[in-house]
Amino acid sequence: MPVNIIAHAFAEGIDSIPFAWTAVKVAPVFALLYLLKWYFNGATNGSERNMHAKVVMVTGGTAGIGAEVVKGLASRGAQIVLLVRQPLSDPFLVDYIEDVRTQTGNELITAENVDLESLHSIRQFATKWVDNAPPRRLDAIILCANTMTPPGGKPTQTEDGLEATWGLNYIANFHLLSILSPALRAQPPDRDVRIIFGTCPAYVGGKMPGTDTNSKSEPGQLDFTPSAVYATSKLALMTFAVAFQKHLTNYVRPDKKPMNARVIMVDPGWTRTPGMRRYLTFGSLWGLALYLITWPLWWLVLKSGDQGAQTFLYAAMEAQWGRGEGAYFLKECRRSIWTRKEIDDEVLQKKLWESSERTVELLEKESAKRRAAEKKQKEKSEGKSNAGKANGDAKQRK
């Protein structure tokens, strides 16, 4: 059919074909849109790895990029352990897990209740995981959980009183990995273990007090404006990631084998996630209306969740990232170089690690005191209630 139309155009002229000139004028526009969309979609993962029987722990795995990473790995046979804030009996969570199992044909998808905004919840889960004997298999930890206060929004706090962006994006990951470190180091030497951090180009704008190595100030005294604290949380996370790789590498295994755990940082690119939508809409209804009006623009320049997941899948499966000694930074399914020199600063790494440990220790002590006081108050209230009930029963007997 197209050959006949072209032949007719040559024989009779293009004017003889209805709407031909309109198609000729419109075609370049569609071609340009196609090329722009292809460009903004970014690279596609071309690596494959046998993921059957591999245990992958995922935070932020129920929405956005994390959900697509879970589907991608589950469809390849990986056993997924989701760390979720919801109770395990939550109908949404139950339906979500069943849907993923059905879509991927993989029944090995489970969840553990871990509130990343609660240091106590993180410790409860991670301690239970580490205390298991023999050590539980763990092939990868993928950290996709992420939050940001939209511009103009009011900052919120975690259960422990930390600014939510700083608390979830950095402190929660620091606390989780610090406790899980023995479980990672206990994996057999022939196992390819990967710890994958999700980061963002915003890290370039981060500024941690204490980046001057002669300064006595400590990371943690932060500018809590939404964009500033988000950028700083990503810079701190990447600095910690490099330090954590050194922490793992410096461990001397009992079998004298080289450390087999590798830290990989992933920048997925700008993606249409719920978090990005909240940021673009300023967390408001009028912003949502504006977002819907301009949606074709965001469809064009932002990746879908599946496209954003490609570099995570590449990090989890590409063979070369399971070797070497340093931490890797991947962007668009290839290795990249971070641009902030502070990330390699060993003095800053040490200062950040020690400051984070002190912060966690202090907040956990305060949390323990608070829980003890609440338990005492609850017991006191129950005691009064039981005493009142006993007096009432006594009066009835009289």
Per-residue pLDDT of 191-210, as tens digits, reads 999 999 999 999 999 987 65
Tell me how far apart the alpha carbons of residues 335 and 50 are, in angstroms, rounded to a whole number.
22
Question: Which domains, ranges and CATH numbers included, belong to the chain?
Answer: 2-41 (no CATH), 55-268+303-358 (3.40.50.720)
Q: Between residues 3 and 280, which one has the greater pLDDT?
A: 280
Residue tagged active-site, from 234, 303, 331, 351 = 234
Nearest to 334 by CA among 281, 394, 279, 264: 264
- For the question of residue 331 being annotated catalytic, the response is no
Nearest to 311 by CA among 196, 139, 231, 203: 196
Tell me how far apart the alpha carbons of residues 249 and 379 are, in angstroms, rounded to a whole number.
48
What number is the average pLDDT over the span 371-377?
86
Least confident of 47-56, 64-73, 277-286: 277-286
Question: Model confidence at 218, in pLDDT bands (50, 70, 90)?
Answer: very low
What is the percentage of the chain residues whose pLDDT exceeds 70? 86
pLDDT digits (tens, 9 = 90+) for 284-301: 889 899 999 999 999 999
Q: What is the pTM assigned to this prediction?
A: 0.87
Tell me how far apart the alpha carbons of residues 209 and 356 are, in angstroms, rounded to a whole number.
13
pLDDT averaged over every residue in the chain: 87
pLDDT digits (tens, 9 = 90+) for 101-115: 999 999 999 999 999
Tell me how far apart the alpha carbons of residues 163 and 171 are, in angstroms, rounded to a whole number.
10
- Angle at CA of residue 8, ends 7 and 12, nearest 5°: 125
Tell me how far apart the alpha carbons of residues 275 and 49 are, in angstroms, rounded to a whole number.
30
58 pLDDT higher than 60: yes
pLDDT of residue 364: 94
Tell me how far apart the alpha carbons of residues 100 and 80 are, in angstroms, rounded to a whole number.
11
325 pLDDT higher than 90: no
pLDDT of residue 394: 58
| Pure H helices in 294-345 | 295-301, 305-308, 310-317
The residues, ordered by sequence, that sit 6+ positions from 134 with a Cβ below 8 Å of its Cβ are none
DSSP 238-287: HHHHHHHHHHHHT---TT-PPP-EEEEEEE--SB--HHHHHHHTTTSHHH
Q: Is residue 219 a contact partner of residue 355, using CB atoms and an 8 Å limit? A: yes
Which residues are paired to 334 by β-bridges? Answer: 331
Question: Model confidence at 323, in pLDDT bands (50, 70, 90)?
Answer: confident
Tell me how far apart the alpha carbons of residues 118 and 364 are, in angstroms, rounded to a whole number.
9
34 pLDDT higher than 50: yes
What is the percentage of the chain residues whose pLDDT exceeds 90? 66
